[in-house]
Structure 1
Amino acid sequence: MRKLNIPLRQYAALLSAYLRPQWKSITLLLLLLLLSIGMQLINPQIIRSFIDMAKEQADSTKLIYAAVLFIGVSLLYQAIMLAATYLGENIGWIATNKLRGDVAEHCLRLDMSFHKAHTSGSLIERVDGDINALANFFSKLVVTLLSNLVLVAGIIILLFREGWEIGLGMLVFTVFAIWSIQYIRRYASPFWGKMRQISADFYGFLGEQLDGTEDVRANGASGFVLSRFDDLLRKWLPIRIRAFFGFAAMWITTIVVFAMGNAMAFAVSAYLWKKGSLTIGAVYMIFYYTELLAKPIEQIRTQMEDLQKADASITRIKELLELRPAVTDGRGTSIPAGPVRVKFDRMTFGYEPGSVTLDSIHFELKPGESLGVLGRTGSGKSTLARLLLRFYDPASGGIYLNGVNIRDAKLAELRRSVGMVTQQIELFQGTVRDNLTFFDESIPDSRIIGVLEELGMGEWLHSMPLGLDSPLESSGGGLSAGEAQLMAFARVFLMDPGLVILDEASSRLDPATEQRIESAISKLLRNRTSIIIAHRLATVQRVDQILVLDNGRVVEYGERSRLAADRHTRFSGILEKGLEETPA
């Protein structure tokens, strides 16, 4: 059976990165735990004195003092542990949230090929589920583990003071107990790793199906979805059972080992008491220390259990953080402002290694010109747009904006220079303002309102109860398809880019809504370079150039008026058929 073997330096690196900023709180937590250790070591000594004084029929005043001292130390211990627990949870919460933020930010920086290969549900499980499994790792594990080891060492030292026989016996018991627990943990760990993986698969599947509820119901696929749901649960159950047996094995081992420890303590204490080496108070103290010894060992067992759960999570998070995007930020060459000159220079691209989605694409679009892109579904029209935004990088050739290779530009500047409206509009849970500006507070409300009125959405905005502060539901719930599309146009207006890409942007609009925004689109494209990926032929009547794609290759490119007039061109044939699809 394969064992998870993560070097300690990886644990240390993770702890150092996320706990170092809280070193003051951690120092205070360590001091509180050391105080609690001192309290736990003192109380058995008080009980010993009380028993011995009672046996010798000492003054009752001394017995009262001893009892009050014992109660006072016990109460103080509880207060210290309450403060330590609060502080530890706070440290863990801060560290966990920082790690969660870093992982989420890293996922957002990864390129589209990564997001195509991973469902949103599996990423949520990574960002939330795996990191939740590390909450105890950050809040208590290391500090508490160290304090428990100190407590164990203190107990053994005090037992050696009573007699080398009892000290040696308890030392052997402690080493054997920790070794036994660690031995069992090594065989239980892999199942927790499988648990985290099947959990990610399940929630990835669940998130995907919930997103597609309408399509599932409309196509009568509910039975298939439930069947896949059952299949995943069937795979999950045996892994969960094995993981539980791993936990049970550690729990049973602990009980057996503690019983052996108590037996050893009784045997050695009885032997020393018969020899006259121990008093009755000392015998009880040894038994108390043995019981107390079980507590840190039990906590070590629990922490080892948490560690075995964290093993898989740390591995998966580490693997995720080690992923590097294929699309990296450029060195910072600036793209000149204004209408953009677009050039594709013998550009070839494939989504998979060895595949070709776009082959030797070569054309140039002058500043202020507009290009209509036509082609069959799957011919590469949308891929062309994604490459301009550097969602992917070409395998060969280059893409230039105003003479600058987009690989050399900063991604943030590139995406400020290129605005795109797609067929699928994503709206987020937030206010109207947030959805339009993406939390850019530098955009004044007057400009936002002006853009909405220009798009014919002024009446809609006035109907919203809180205006720009009105909340919108996730995925545009409560908005019509036309209103959501107009919101997307408003976003591009506010960006004021030099290049605008409309990727079948009007395909979801009814003719009345489309006609309503025609003038707004004309204003948007004025003094800007534009690329219009067509779904309706009416949308390319405004363009200067036409580019026809077929199987990832340019089969026709030229001025729209010239291509339309030539009956032998593909574009002319498309106009006759009234479709954007290229002929076979």
Structure 2
Amino acid sequence: MSKSKKEKSRHLKRFSYTVDTAIEKPFNWKQMWRLLIYLKPYSKTYLPAAVIAMMVSTAVRLIVPILIGKVAIDVAIKNEDVTMLTYLVIGIGILYLVSYAGNVYRIKWVNILGQNVIFDLRQHLFSHVQRLSHRFFDNRSAGSILVRIMNDINSLQELFTNGIINLLMDIVTLIGIIVILFALSPKLALAIMIVLPLMFYISTKLRRNIRRSWQDVRIQQSRLNSHLNEGIQGMRITQSFSQEKENAEFFNGINEDNYQSWRQATKKSALFRPFVEMSNAIGTVILISYGAYLILLGPDNGGIELGTFVSFAFFLGMFWEPISRLGQMYNQLLMAMAASERIFEYLDEQPNVEEKDDAHEFKEMAGHIEFDKVEFSYDEDRVALHEISVEIKQGQTIALVGHTGSGKSTIANLISRFYDPSKGTVKIDGYDLRDVKLNSIRQKISVVLQDTFIFSGTILENIRFGRPNATDQEVIDAARVVGADDFIQRLAEGYNTEVEERGNVLSAGERQLMSFARALLADPSILILDEATASIDTETEVKIQKALGKLLKGRTAIIIAHRLSTIREADNIFVLENGKVLENGSHSELMAQRGEYFGLVRSQFQMLDAI
């Protein structure tokens, strides 16, 4: 296998997890109607105003050819009526000014309408995604989600800013032209329309291929964005291992697929316009040959007058123009359908963690936690917890220890109800968490992770994230308690220092101190520290240990730690292995048992002695 083929095979395999697959369905008008519902808030303002402006300009376009052919040529010029011709020229000029004004306001109002709809749709999608459960994010990359919220919704922009009104305008124009042509001369109109069935047949054949091609474009864009997001976030690792060339080759494969998908989609879409132009040419030939014959015949013998022929020539030029635009509009609808399928796929996604209508709301939370024969699986092949029964009393500090994958973080996730147990119940203060409102649970729980997330903004804003209504002084007091105030005051702007995405200007220890301050400011009833001191140096750890006494006072705390020196003072230590509790007790009790915990402590201190 050639290198390029190997690269392609590898990157396809790498993205085999993706759920961004094409959807083989016929054109879904119900879904399109669902998309158009987003116009409803503007159905009494911008939409009717744009439609009225469109109708005015369209009416002028249909009236002018009749005035030129039937009035100017067949009456004014034929009878040499200069006065009528003068008034007619002035009247047509005024009509064109009215048409100009209608077009100006149509463009203005449809753009305002379109931008409002895009704003609403993007806001709706983002708000919905925020409410989805962790399982949703487990199976999707950040890049693929970003594509739905940005690129797919951007793909609908042309539809809402111009497409819908232009579609109405072209349909009205087309119907108006057909009615007028048959009113002027049914014979000539019928002769010109003979090409339409063939055009309809071929365009119908193109639809499926065009739609499938635009679906593929969306898939490839999603993969490209996923890799870009991954590549940029992992740039330090890429450079550390000197894998820039490998990464560039990998990107080249995905970029090539994206290029080919666009190439195929645009190639198929481009077939429609030349076909319309060919139909226009055939119609023109019919008009000239058959129209000339009817003029020679004369109106008395079933023919037509010269003015009627001229009107027909005007209308024929106008006739193929909306058909061509309708073909382009259909391509636009196909793109919109491909994008809307992906948008509605997310909007139809329901949280795995559901909230009951009559759910209990915690006004106050004592923090008494019970696990009653809890089982949990992330997937069918991997059971994370096996009938765990654990009780954590109000105000207790307990520690969860064990090897990687033993189920420690899973217990923390179930307490915050990021997931629901497969079997058994998790209770807080006697309430099954499935019977409690999600917000009332999570507002009373603070989680500090090993890899804390710092948002773009000031240090003050980041600490205040857990309690937005906190005063500046309360933020500063929380930072002082956990020992973060010292390094913050040394910064040039202090608490108003801007930190970039993920807080890369701060050290790992400084970011962790900020996360402790954030957790303390939220004033939780339950505090979960998930490897919170793993990335902190010894000096910073001493500061944290001093702060923990104040941080944990009066709160139920769950500490997950590999560094066992940090959990000696815990009221109860649970030793986990393969999702089961092997033993539990205080540090001294477990050391006396000389069991699994004793072995973990001894092996850790042996490693330190070796160092």
TM over 0.5: yes
TM-score, normalised via structure 2 length: 0.89
Amino acid at match of 1:422: L
Which of 121, 124, 127 in structure 1 is aligned with 2:149? 127
- Give the match for residue 471 of structure 1: 498
Determine if contact 1:156/1:170 at 8 Å carries over to the other structure: no
The answer to whether the Cα contact below 8 Å between 1:4 and 1:311 also exists between their aligned partners in 2 is no
Instruction: Name the SS for the 2:569 alignment partner.
Output: coil
The residue aligned with 1:328 is: 354
Separation in 2 of the partners of 1:52 and 1:340?
93
**Separation of aligned partners in 1, 2:449 and 2:531:** 6
Q: Equivalent residue for 1:35?
A: 56
| Matching of residues 256-335 of structure 1 within 5 Å | 256-277=278-299, 278-330=304-356, 331-335=358-362
1:520: which partner in 2? 547
The match for 1:431 among 455, 458, 461 is 458
Q: Where in structure 2 are there 5+ consecutive unaligned residues?
A: 1-21
Q: Which residue of 2 aligns with 1:385?
A: 412
- Conservation of the 8 A alpha-carbon contact between 1:370 and 1:532: yes
CA contact (8 A) 1:191 1:239 kept: yes
State the SS of the aligned residue for 2:460.
helix
The question of whether the paired residues in 2 share the 8 Å contact of 1:345 and 1:361 is answered with yes
3-state SS of 2:375 partner: strand
Decide whether aligned partners of structure 1 residues 180 and 477 sit closer, same or farther in structure 2, where only a CA change above 3 A counts.
same
Tell me how far 1:26 sits from its aligned partner. 0.8
Partner of 2:437: 410
| SS state at 2:394 partner | coil
- The CA distance in 1 between the partners of 2:193 and 2:238, in whole Å, is 63
Alignment of 1:22 onto 2:72? no
User: d(CA) in 2 for partners of 1:580 and 1:12?
Assistant: 68
Moved more, 77-86 or 116-125: 77-86
The answer on whether the counterparts of 1:95 and 1:138 sit within 8 Å (CA) in structure 2 is yes
Shift of 1:141: 3.0
Letter in 1 for 2:314: Y
Aligned partner of 1:230 in structure 2 is 252
RMSD after superposition: 2.3
Give the C-alpha shift of residue 237 in structure 1.
3.6
- Equivalenced residue count is 579
**Rounded Cα–Cα distance in structure 2 between residues aligned with 1:43 and 1:174:** 25
1:349–1:358 contact (8 Å) kept in structure 2: yes
**1:453 matched residue in structure 2:** 480
> Offset at 1:431?
3.1
Q: 1:124 Cα shift?
A: 0.7
The amino acid across from 1:323 in the alignment is E
Match of 1:532 in 2: 559
- Identity fraction in percent: 29
Q: After superposition, where does 1:143-158 map in structure 2 within 5 Å?
A: 143-158=165-180
Residue identity matched to 1:43: V
What amino acid maps onto 1:355 in structure 2?
R
Cα-to-partner distance string for 1:521-555 (whole Å, 9 max, x where unaligned): 21010111111111312210221111111122111
Name the counterpart of 2:33.
12
Corresponding residue of 1:249:
271
1:212 corresponds, among 224, 234, 237, to: 234
Distance 1:151 1:174 in 2: 16
Q: Specify which of 511, 516, 519 is matched with residue 484 of structure 1.
A: 511
Structure 1 position 63 matched with structure 2 position 89: no
User: Which is worse superposed, 309-318 or 135-144?
Assistant: 135-144
Residue 181 of structure 1, CA deviation: 3.2
8 Å CA contact 2:214–2:265 kept in 1: the answer is yes
Paired residue secondary structure (2:395)? coil
User: 2:396 matched to 1:374?
Assistant: no
Partner deviation per Cα, 1:297-336 (whole Å, 9 max, x = no partner): 1221111010111121122222222221211124422447
Give the TM-score normalised by the residue count of structure 1. Answer: 0.93
Amino acid at match of 2:163: L
Partner of 2:4: none
Amino acid at match of 1:518: Q
Which amino acid in structure 1 is aligned with residue 173 of structure 2? Answer: L
**Secondary structure of the structure 1 residue equivalent to 2:380:** coil
CA-CA distance at 1:58 after TM superposition: 2.5
CA contact (8 A) 1:3 1:189 kept: no
Distance 1:122 1:579 in 2: 44
Match of 2:134 in 1: 112
Tell me by how many angstroms 1:421 deviates: 0.3
Q: Is the 8 A contact 1:437 1:494 kept in 2?
A: yes
Matched AA of 2:460: R
Moved over 6 A (4+): none
2:5 aligned residue: none
**C-alpha separation in 2, matches of 1:500 and 1:123:** 30
8 A contact 2:360–2:435 mirrored in 1: yes
State the shift of 1:400 in Å. Answer: 1.3
Shift of residue 395, structure 1, vs aligned partner:
0.9
Alignment of 1:67-86 (within 5 A): 67-86=89-108
CA positional deviation for 1:258: 1.5
Higher mean displacement: 32-41 or 319-328: 319-328
User: Alignment partner for residue 507 of structure 1, among 501, 510, 534?
Assistant: 534
Distance 1:291 1:128 in 2: 39
